Amino acid sequence: MSDDFKMPEDCTDMREVRIGVDTTDRELMELLDRRFGYMRAAARIKQDRNVVRDEARKAEVIENAVADAEKRDLPHGKIAQIWDLLVETSIAYELVEWDRIRS
């Protein structure tokens, strides 16, 4: 993390804001890397390719994200769209990994 990094409420100019955004984006990428690691683990653990897609679990994950967004006063409708894309991308990734492991 940059020595110039400040929390949003402590920023006083756009340079500090941009440093914060860039730092946060790198942290988000680290979290996405971990999340996709769990998709690789799921692909390894699941013995049946047909169980990779789980619509009930997808709905639960999106509902959890929306509820969390609402508590944080974030745009929960857009968060639902982002999470839908994240989950669909994760499912596609898991399917590719499932096939790769077993080929």
CATH number of the domain residue 42 falls in: 1.20.59.10
Domain contains 94: yes
Hey, how many other C-beta atoms are within 10 angstroms of the C-beta on 18?
Answer: 12
**What is the dihedral sign for C-alpha 82, 88, 92, 95?**
positive
Cα angle value 94/52/55 (rounded, 5°): 120
**In a domain? residue 97:** yes
Considering the domain boundaries, does residue 53 fall inside one? yes
Q: Packing angle between helix 55-71 and helix 76-102, nearest 10 degrees?
A: 140
2 domain residue, yes or no = no
Q: Please give the average per-residue pLDDT across 82-101, as a whole number.
A: 98
Residue 1 placed within a domain: no
The CA-atom distances, in angstroms, between 76 and each of 27, 53, 66 are 21, 24, 5
Domain membership flag for residue 3: no
| 68 within a domain of the structure (yes/no) | yes
Please tell me the pTM assigned to this model.
0.91
Rg (CA), the chain: 17
Q: How many domains does the chain have?
A: 1
Q: What pLDDT, in 10s, does the model give residues 49-86?
A: 999 999 999 999 999 999 999 999 999 999 999 999 99
Q: Domain containing 45: what range? A: 8-102
pLDDT in tens, 1-13: 777 999 999 999 9
